[in-house]
Amino acid sequence: MSRVSIRRLRAMCKKESYQIIRDPSNALIAIVIPLLLLFIFGYGINLDSGQLRIGVVAHSQGPASRALIQTFKNSSYLALTVSDHKAPLQAQLQQGKLRGIVIIPPNFDQLVSAGKIPPLQIISDGSEPNTARFMQRYVQGAWQIWQTQEQIKQGQDTTELLTTNERVWFNPAAISRHFIIPGAISIIMTVIGTILTSLVIAREWENGTMEALLSTQLTRTELLLSKLLPYYVLGLFAMGLCVFVATLVLDVPFRGSLWLLTLTTLLFLTSSMGIGLLISTLTKNQFNAAMIALNAAFLPAVMLSGFVFEINSMPAVIQLASHIVPARYFVSILKTIFLAGNLGTLILINSLYLLGASILFIGLTFWKTPTRLETH
């Protein structure tokens, strides 16, 4: 590798910085889009179940039935609509106004008086499987509470052979925003790192300035560094903006250290910018480069990073393909730093993957970058 001239590198970085400042699309992507995506993911996407609307068909009107209905009403997760007939509640279920129906049989009180556990029928809206599972669990929980209360009334022993105490680490309130926002930041950094840099070398070819650069003493190292360094600054600025909004506006906890976040961000930016520069070098056309970057970096970052969709639940082939997506490792790092803190081993392993991806893509870009004009 040839010797790097600080004077030439400084001049090229200054030129690239002027192009970033003069192009309003860069400010749009680095400032407006991150804020827009953060607020969309923070307020527009909510995986929390909240209070579910269910209907109760009370075919039995005895004291045990009324006690069970009151137990359902006491649940903070259920909003009840009680009726003597199934038809109106079934119509509301089909219209999407209810998430499920609980049917209390006519002989409910007689079975309770006889010391038996009567059955309940639960009809749930399967168009949203996750919500249906939540509804069934909430109903089952209220059902178990009612059974315990009935055993106490009848003087029965309620001592359980085995008791469980659940403890949720890192996100005990199970607030979906707390794990969505760190993943959203990785998507934002992918946009800045890949899509912006996918245009820089292609823009030189389209503007006709690449031929002028290749006719000078500028080396490949100086060319690539001049394209990387200004975008490092832009990327770190965007990351600082994202952390500020996530912690102070969206109330996402930040339990790690800023220096570790900065170091891992630089690693991720290197890998993502390597992808963008490689695309830009190969296509030499801004429109084609942007389309390829969108499909090769942005969409895989959304679908295969574990940002929303659990990787372990994907088919084995898709899981294998996700290993080449740098955002997969950065999502894990960000969730760790934000929610758990400085878990060194986990962060180190993911950082090594990012380092390998950086070497791979920057190396390929260096290899494919021409050093002189081709003559035909």
Q: Which long-range contacts (CB under 8 A, 24 or more apart) does 293-296 make?
A: 293/194, 293/195, 293/198, 294/195, 296/194
DSSP-assigned letters across all residues of 165-211: -----S-TT--HHHHHHHHHHHHHHHIIIIITTTTHHHHHHHHTHHH
Same domain, 19 and 105: no
Same domain, 66 and 148: yes
Residue 116's domain is classified under what CATH number? 3.40.1710.10
Phi/psi region, residue 311 (left: phi>0; alpha: psi -120 to 50; beta: rest), is: alpha
Q: How far apart are the first and last CA of the chain?
A: 27
- pTM reported for the whole predicted model: 0.79
For the chain, what is the radius of gyration of the CA atoms?
A: 29
In a domain, 162, yes or no: no
In a domain, 236, yes or no: yes
Tell me how long the chain is: 376
Same domain, 255 and 122: no
Instruction: Provide the residue-wise pLDDT of the chain in tens; the chain has 376 residues.
Output: 457 889 989 999 998 888 888 888 777 878 888 889 899 888 877 776 667 899 999 988 888 899 999 999 988 888 899 998 888 998 898 888 898 999 999 998 888 888 788 888 888 888 777 778 888 888 888 888 888 887 777 766 655 545 556 666 777 767 888 889 999 999 999 988 898 888 888 888 888 888 888 778 888 888 899 989 999 999 999 999 999 999 999 999 999 999 999 999 999 999 999 999 999 999 888 889 989 988 888 889 989 998 878 888 888 899 998 999 999 999 999 999 999 989 889 999 999 999 999 999 999 999 988 766 554 4
In a domain, 33, yes or no: yes
Same domain, 113 and 142: yes
Same domain, 242 and 104: no
Give the chain's largest Cα–Cα span: 97
Same domain, 37 and 130: no
In a domain, 212, yes or no: yes
Comparing CA positions, the residue from 139, 147, 144 lying closest to residue 53 is 139
One-letter amino acid of 245: V
Domain that holds residue 149: 52-153
Pick the last residue of a domain from 153, 188, 215.
153
Rounded Cα–Cα distance for residues 289 and 274 (Å): 13
Pick the last residue of a domain from 104, 122, 153.
153
Residue 54's DSSP bridge partners are: 80, 100
Same domain, 70 and 190: no
Same domain, 62 and 12: no
Same domain, 245 and 345: yes
In a domain, 1, yes or no: no
Same domain, 282 and 342: yes
- Residues in CB range of 241: below 8 A, 6 or more apart: 31, 34, 35
Number of domains into which the chain is organized: 2
Query: Are the C-beta atoms of residues 102 and 57 closer than 8 Å to each other?
Result: yes
In a domain, 263, yes or no: yes
- Residues in CB range of 313: below 8 A, 6 or more apart: none
Pick the last residue of a domain from 153, 186, 202.
153
DSSP conformational letter for 324: G
In a domain, 232, yes or no: yes
Same domain, 286 and 346: yes
Same domain, 360 and 310: yes
In a domain, 160, yes or no: no
Tokens matching residue 266: 């630089």
- Residues in CB range of 246: below 8 A, 6 or more apart: 38, 42, 181, 182, 185, 252, 254, 338
